[in-house]
């Protein structure tokens, strides 16, 4: 990765894109520390530490929620809007036709996604203020609430704009880079806290050694699985059109082991934290006592539910990312076939079986990766509930950004057709 960055820095155009991207990321980090007027930042910070779901949102906002900054909502509204649009594109024929209209269709869907993200940001801002109560604001005046909600919603729109600027004038992968820089910004404080606990005697030195070894092993495993793919060979028959002959070449269909990326972890963690969040609103009820007893972070029922949810969402998003029926139709339409498999329904069934097998491996791998930070948290007493998600995002974004830089450098080494 560092070699790719060094080679990209030597190219003037890419150097300008890298500097522009760094400038946008700097603006994003400044926005994460600019507080929203009329809020009680100290009380909100204490609530973020107590509520696991708020802590999850704080990770994806780069600490903006803990500071109650204008970027407190982070990129969660845009991510949710993108997921909803992907699901609606499959369910609603009009959106499906729009997605197949080429560049114009994608622009229309992108515009709808941005409007939906702003709406979800508005709802999320209202929900956060209501859940924290009147102590989260300095004044219960209606105009103070309106000001806070509008600032948070405007921050969501500004984050989307910054991500689009990186896509257009920077190195690309804008929203993912904003998430990446937010997570990386919290790493120094986590490392300092761990080292302080070790030197003060609160945590054994072996915990620090185990942390470093586990981090290296997990990053290496995540890189290996993220790059892993099953290549399905495809042979295209020869066709004669006029005096020219087309086809006859062999290619392959790459099926990634981890088709759904980090989304199963995000949604599984969100769903498994909902009962605990509800229990914290009614701490003296029987429901709260049952949740604390059976659905605590270290309980076996919590682990089983978390594991099942990761499996479910892995299969769910794998079907969205790779549709065997559509792939089979495209292969048959262009005169291709998989050696040993008949075109049509047998091909789609064959692809579905392979997808199911590699998704099972990817889902079990995600569940194991998610269990390691929880085990470390139990041993060290540190809260690392979202370590698996953070590591997976950092590895995935790093690999994707490296690939984009390599592709842009490769394009600049090609000679033009026109002299």
- Parse the chain into domains and list their residue ranges: 1-185, 204-381
Please provide the CATH number assigned to the domain covering 1-185: 1.10.3370.10
Checking if the pLDDT of 158 tops 90, the result is yes
pLDDT of residue 374: 63
Checking if the pLDDT of 388 tops 70, the result is no
Task: Decide: 44 and 68 in contact? Cβ < 8 Å.
Answer: yes
Among 99-103, 130-134, 144-148, 369-373, top mean pLDDT goes to 144-148
pLDDT of residue 412: 66
Q: How confident is the model at residue 414 (pLDDT cuts 50, 70, 90)?
A: low
C-alpha distance across the termini of the chain, in Å: 34
> Cα(70)–Cα(155) distance, rounded to whole angstroms?
5
Checking if the pLDDT of 378 tops 70, the result is no
pLDDT of residue 102: 74
Homologous superfamily (CATH) for 204-381: SecY subunit domain (1.10.3370.10)
Checking if the pLDDT of 304 tops 50, the result is yes
Q: Got the DSSP string for 186-253?
A: HHHHHHHHHHHHHHHTSS-HHHHHHHHHHHHHHHHHHHHHHH-EEEEEEEEPPEEETTEEE---EEEE
pLDDT of residue 153: 93
Region 249-267: mean pLDDT is 79
Q: How confident is the model at residue 159 (pLDDT cuts 50, 70, 90)?
A: very high
Checking if the pLDDT of 24 tops 90, the result is yes
337 has which bridge partners? Answer: 235
Full-model pTM? 0.78
Residue 417 or 278, more confident = 278
| Residue owning tokens 């998610």 | 370
Q: How high does pLDDT run on average in the chain?
A: 80
Biggest distance spanned by C-alpha atoms of the chain: 83
pLDDT of residue 127: 81
Region 190-209: mean pLDDT is 74
Question: What are 123-127's contacts with CB under 8 Å, separation 24+?
Answer: 124/73, 124/76, 124/77, 124/152, 125/73, 125/149, 125/152, 125/153
Q: How many residues does the chain have?
A: 419
Checking if the pLDDT of 249 tops 90, the result is no
Percent of the residues in the chain that have a pLDDT greater than 70, as a whole number: 86
pLDDT of residue 409: 79
Over residues 313-361, the pLDDT tens digits come to 888 888 777 888 888 888 888 778 888 888 888 888 999 899 888 988 8
Residue 106 or 23, more confident = 23
pLDDT of residue 20: 92
Region 398-415: mean pLDDT is 74
Over residues 99-121, the pLDDT tens digits come to 777 778 888 888 899 999 999 98
Task: Please indicate whether the domains covering 1-185 and 204-381 agree at the CATH topology level.
Answer: yes
Residue 383 or 108, more confident = 108
pLDDT of residue 317: 81
* Secondary structure of residue 87 in the 3-state scheme: helix
Checking if the pLDDT of 417 tops 60, the result is no
pLDDT of residue 307: 83
Checking if the pLDDT of 187 tops 70, the result is yes
pLDDT of residue 387: 61
Region 196-219: mean pLDDT is 76
Q: Got the DSSP string for 94-122?
A: HHHHHHTSTHHHHHHHHHHHHHHHHHHHH
Over residues 39-56, the pLDDT tens digits come to 888 888 888 877 666 777
Region 170-186: mean pLDDT is 84
Checking if the pLDDT of 379 tops 60, the result is no
């Amino acid at each position: 990765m560092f070699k790719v960055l060094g080679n990209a820095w030597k190219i003037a155009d890419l150097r300008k894109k890298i500097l522009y991207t760094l400038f946008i990321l700097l603006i994003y980090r400044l926005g994460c520390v600019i507080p929203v007027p009329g809020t009680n930042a100290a009380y909100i910070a204490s609530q973020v530490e107590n509520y696991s779901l708020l802590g999850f949102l704080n990770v994806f906002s780069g600490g903006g929620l803990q500071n109650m900054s204008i970027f407190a909502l982070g990129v969660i509204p845009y991510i949710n809007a993108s997921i909803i649009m992907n699901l609606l594109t499959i369910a609603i024929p009009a959106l499906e036709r729009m997605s197949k209209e080429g560049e114009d269709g994608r622009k229309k869907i992108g515009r709808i996604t941005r409007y939906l993200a702003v709406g979800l940001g508005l709802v999320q801002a209202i929900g956060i203020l209501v859940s924290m109560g009147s102590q989260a604001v300095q004044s219960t005046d209606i105009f103070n609430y309106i000001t806070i909600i509008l600032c948070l919603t405007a921050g969501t729109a500004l984050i989307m704009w910054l991500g689009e600027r990186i896509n257009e004038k920077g190195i690309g992968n804008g929203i993912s880079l904003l998430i990446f820089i937010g997570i990386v910004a919290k790493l120094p404080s986590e490392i300092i806290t761990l080292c302080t606990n070790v030197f003060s005697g609160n945590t054994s030195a072996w915990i620090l050694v185990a942390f470093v070894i586990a981090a290296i092993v997990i990053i290496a495993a995540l890189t290996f699985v993220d790059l892993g793919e099953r290549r399905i060979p495809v042979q295209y028959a020869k066709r004669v059109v006029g005096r020219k002959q087309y086809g006859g070449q062999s290619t392959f269909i790459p099926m990634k082991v981890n088709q759904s990326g980090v989304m199963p972890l995000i949604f599984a963690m969100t769903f498994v934290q909902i009962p605990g969040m509800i229990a914290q609103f009614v701490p003296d009820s029987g429901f709260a006592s049952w949740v604390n007893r059976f659905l605590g972070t270290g309980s076996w029922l919590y682990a089983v539910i978390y594991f099942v949810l990761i499996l479910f969402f892995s299969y769910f998003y794998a079907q969205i990312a790779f549709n065997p029926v559509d792939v089979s139709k495209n292969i048959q339409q262009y005169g291709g076939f998989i050696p040993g498999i008949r075109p049509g329904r047998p091909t789609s069934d064959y692809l579905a079986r392979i997808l199911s097998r590699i998704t099972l491996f990817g889902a079990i791998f995600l569940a194991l990766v998610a269990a390691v930070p929880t085990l470390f948290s139990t041993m060290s007493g540190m809260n690392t509930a979202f370590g698996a998600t953070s590591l997976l995002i950092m590895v995935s974004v790093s690999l994707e950004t490296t690939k984009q830089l390599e592709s842009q450098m490769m394009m600049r080494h090609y000679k033009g057709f026109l002299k």
